[in-house]
Structure 1
Amino acid sequence: MFNHVIDRDCALKGYPWSFDKHVLILNSIWVDENPTQVDLNRCDFNVHIHDLPLSRMNLGVATLIGNQSGVFRDMEMDDARHSWGSSLRIRMGWDVNSPIKQTLKLCITMSVEHLVCFTYAGFSNFCYICGTLCHITKYCEEKFQEGFEDLGEDFQYSLWLREPPPIKSRVLPGSMA
């Protein structure tokens, strides 16, 4: 509960929040709504799309990728609606019970396909077996299914899907800024 709508909006736009390395899902609720009916299965995340040709780092492609993988929300871009850097950074929503995307095959032209990779900023724990955010690996139901093959630490999903936090620059004493 927030004292002001500005505080609420700030908390909802500052997503994703976490507690003990687990994602906290927040949603607005109105006075006449039943709290048990509020959807807490969808969450927005910052997604970095790697290996995309520079000519395709634009709002149109970002929207296409976001909507194929979940629900496109926003893109980090310049005034010309392009993104510059090593990855295309978008904000995307999806159902946390669905597996996170690792890769996506894009048709660049009629004859050229391109494979892009995803990394995710803002969450720590997810299941390395099924790729969902609703539990961690040791509680995955797939482990207890008949025919499950234990591959040790060689899981389908792994740490490389996490976007590393940005490196903070420091000015050392005696050095020039």
Structure 2
Amino acid sequence: MKGVVVGEEELQPVKQSFALVGRFLTEKNINFNAMKNVIASLWRPKEGMEVHELGDDRYPFVFFHVMDLQKVIDGSPWSFEQSPLIYHKLEDTEDARIVKLNKMEIWLQIHDLPKGFMSENILRSVGDFVGSFIKTDKAWLEGGWNSFVRIRVRLDIDKPLKRRMKIKREGGAWSWINFKYERLSTFCFVCGILGHSERECGVVYANPGKEIKKAYGTCLRAPGRNIKNMNVGARWL
């Protein structure tokens, strides 16, 4: 069967550099109108935004200024009805219908880090152990009296959360450092994977009637204020 070959010079670039495409990590049906109003209320883009339904539970979020887009990226993770938003920043040549949506950025707190272990290289290694290191919160390092260090990491949502890690200086003894995740949504206390609780866990279903050890718990959640935003998002749409 013959087809048409199109040269790169003939293609028209699609301008979507201020757009995200995302999906919510849930099996529940999403009320689109409620979702877009709640999300807009949280994000409050100064220059406005659009939200569309793409099918297959994918939603493009289109912004009209790069600073509004960056504010959303920097403030993630976001969720709707306890379901985390898994998103991808679209480049001009990418198709929103087929890009992979399996990564989530989050702030990680590193607790019990031994003194002298706060170099950028060590924190990068810790971040790459948990997921993919993005950056260090420099202001937190400079505080001096903080009980933990903050780094930004990118998680693979198909893999269990990391709870802790062993670390030592050459010739020294091993120490455990412990992790807490900021604004962490629903995750399974049995398998440690985001997006479901132990009631929907495949491990539990594969072992009916058996007592299943819960290796994870609420200790992975960093404490924070529970702020309920009741504003209607229409003014930013």
1:51 aligns with 2:105: no
Q: Larger RCO: Structure 1 or Structure 2 (Cα < 8 Å, ≥ 6 residues apart)?
A: 2
Compare 27-36 and 103-112 and name the one that shifted more: 27-36
Match in the other structure for 1:172: none
TM-score by length of 2: 0.63
2:109 aligns to what SS in structure 1?
strand
1:27–1:147 CA distance, 2 compared to 1 (3 A): same
SS in 2 for 1:6: helix
How far 1:20 sits from its partner (Å)?
1.1
Q: Deviations over 1:138-162 (max 9, x none)?
A: 11111111488324xx621111110
Contact 1:43 1:94 (C-alpha < 8 Å) held by counterparts: yes
Of the two, which has the highest radius of gyration?
A: 2
The residue identity in structure 2 corresponding to 1:139 is E
**Residues 86-125 of structure 1: matches in 2 within 5 Å?**
86-125=147-186
Listed as ranges, the matches of 1:119-138 within 5 Å are: 119-138=180-199
Q: 2:90 aligns with which of 14, 26, 29?
A: 29
Given the alignment, which residue of 223, 232, 236 partners 1:164?
223
Secondary structure of 1:116's match?
A: strand
Structure 1 unmatched ranges of 5 or more:
168-177
Gaps of 5+ in 2: 1-61, 227-237
Percent of matched pairs sharing the same residue: 28
Call closer, same or farther: CA 1:101–1:148 in 2, change over 3 Å: farther
State the partner residue of 1:3.
64
SS at match of 1:36: coil
TM-score by length of 1: 0.82
Deviation, structure 1 residue 35:
1.9
- Number of the residue aligned with 1:69: 130
> Contact 2:164–2:176 (CA<8 Å) still a contact in 1?
yes
The whole-number CA distance in structure 2 between the counterparts of 1:77 and 1:35 is 34
Distance 1:148 1:101, change over 3 A: farther
User: 1:78, 1:48 → 2: CA distance?
Assistant: 14
- CA-CA distance at 1:14 after TM superposition: 1.2
Closer/same/farther in 2, CA of residues 4 and 78 from structure 1, 3 Å limit? closer
Q: Cα RMSD (Å) of the superposition?
A: 2.3
Runs of 4+ aligned residues of structure 1 deviating over 6 Å after TM superposition are: none
Tell me by how many angstroms 1:109 deviates.
2.4
Q: Residue in 1 aligned with 2:38? A: none
